[in-house]
A and B are shown apart, each in its own frame.
Chain A
Amino acid sequence: MDILSTKYRITYEAFSKLSGRINKARNIEELVLVISKNLKYLIDFRVFRMSIVLDNNAHSFSFFAKNGSKLEMNKLSSFETNLLEHKIPIRHSVIPDKFNEFIDTTLLNNPVFWGWFIERDTLNISATILSDDIKVFTKMDIDIMHLLVDSFCIKYQQLYLSKQLTLKNKSLKSALKLIEEKKKEIEKILGQQQNVIIDKTKEVKLKNTQLLEISSINAHNLREPLSRILGLIEISEHYNPDQLNEHILKHIRTSAIDLDNVLKKVVKKSEKQY
């Protein structure tokens, strides 16, 4: 049995446990915690960093040997941009300044900086490792590291898309709620307008009735005294002045007063209406 097989035997259980926990992670925070806690059972490293380009954004994750992790958005370092562009693996002793943010690199014994470009479906990934003589990363660890990056990135993409979907659903729901509120407002305005129309219609109907009443007064009440006056004038030719004064003028006065009363009534009704 070669050394590589032995190594796989030792790390097999840890990797299988880690895969199970990655699958069970319900959100990005849990996923990062699972990786942070279990990396030490798989490989030796000082800093392990993965940057995933997703939706034109760079999502970077840095994990530290002494437990702990850091998540950054759109903070690609130049070595990562180069890796993503040229896709050429790196292995040298010049440590990028970026790692000073995470660890005092002057304390490392013979530090080695490793880097790979990894392409998975629609994802472009930069994976980098800082190791030294104490936390030794070797060529034998590369396959395990690739498997780890695979598992992590696939799960991360799934959780990220699910989060985006939840956010979109949330904003759709709030838009729907707004539409519902506006609809209610419109319905309320329509209801109010309908009431106004009903009131106005009632008012017009009432006025029409009153107008009809006035017309009726005009037709009947005015006609009657006026006819009487016209009739009296008609027969007045056949009377001498004394007879006219005694019999006709008296009736004309009475009819004129009646006519005047009816006219007053009409004026009063009209004034009431308007």
Chain B
Amino acid sequence: MSSPIRNKRYRIVSYEEAIPSVKKIYDDTKKKFQLPFVLNWFKCQGDNPTLLAGNWAKLKSTLMEGDIPKVLKQLIIYNVSKERGCDYCSKAHGIFVDSLSEEISPNKDFIVTENIYATIIPESYRIAVKVVTKAALHHADITDSDFQELEDAGFDYAEIQELMAQADLANMLNTIADISGIKIDSELIEVCS
């Protein structure tokens, strides 16, 4: 059994010390993310099974399920986290964009919404990343023309709702990651190195 990791703010509850209901959620996260370990973002919520269950349900249905490609959703979460300066989420979701972090991270100037990758990322992705990042960081500034831009890019109503849901998901992910003070998972770095 590994010794519990102490954290100044939220306690990191390891798989071994988790109660059965929390263990069940941990297992589900491993299955869904196809990872052999539990991410710190979940482990830091292991002391409150109710909140963990709710937050996992939100994350799962918003990010892991639906019609929009996961890579686009991960790009959105990555971009919001990077622009907000959430270290944990920008690193984790950069890795999740199918190891795109190798392309993205070394380039300090890379901003998905700009045109560096204009020829390789379809325009629909770039517009979605741009508009949803705005919704996450400056939701009061969102206008009808932002919605029109998404429609013009070919997204229908259901897809637009699914895209916008990434904004509040990113905010939840960033908030919990930042206030809990968690660090990027060493296992995640190892798996992807």
Contact = CB atoms under 8 A, between A and B. Distances in A.
A27 B69 CA distance: 24
Interface in B155-170: 155-156, 159
A131 to B, nearest CB: 10
Interface residues of A, number: 26
Contacts, number: 69
Contacts of B117: 6
Contact of B156 (A10, A67, A136): A67
Contacts of B119: 3, 136, 138, 140
Interface string B150-184: 01111110010000000000000000000000000
A65 B152 CA distance: 8
Interface in A1-17: 1, 3, 6-7, 9-14, 17
B152 A66 contact: yes
Question: Which label, helix, strand, loop or mixed, suits the secondary structure of the A interface?
Answer: helix
B100 A136 contact: no
A10 B154 CA distance: 18
Contacts of B125: 10, 41
11 contacts: A1-B102, A9-B71, A10-B71, A14-B69, A40-B123, A40-B155, A41-B122, A65-B153, A65-B154, A66-B152, A138-B119
Interface of B: 67, 69-72, 98-100, 102-103, 117-125, 151-156, 159
Interface of A: 1, 3, 6-7, 9-14, 17, 37, 39-44, 65-67, 134-136, 138, 140
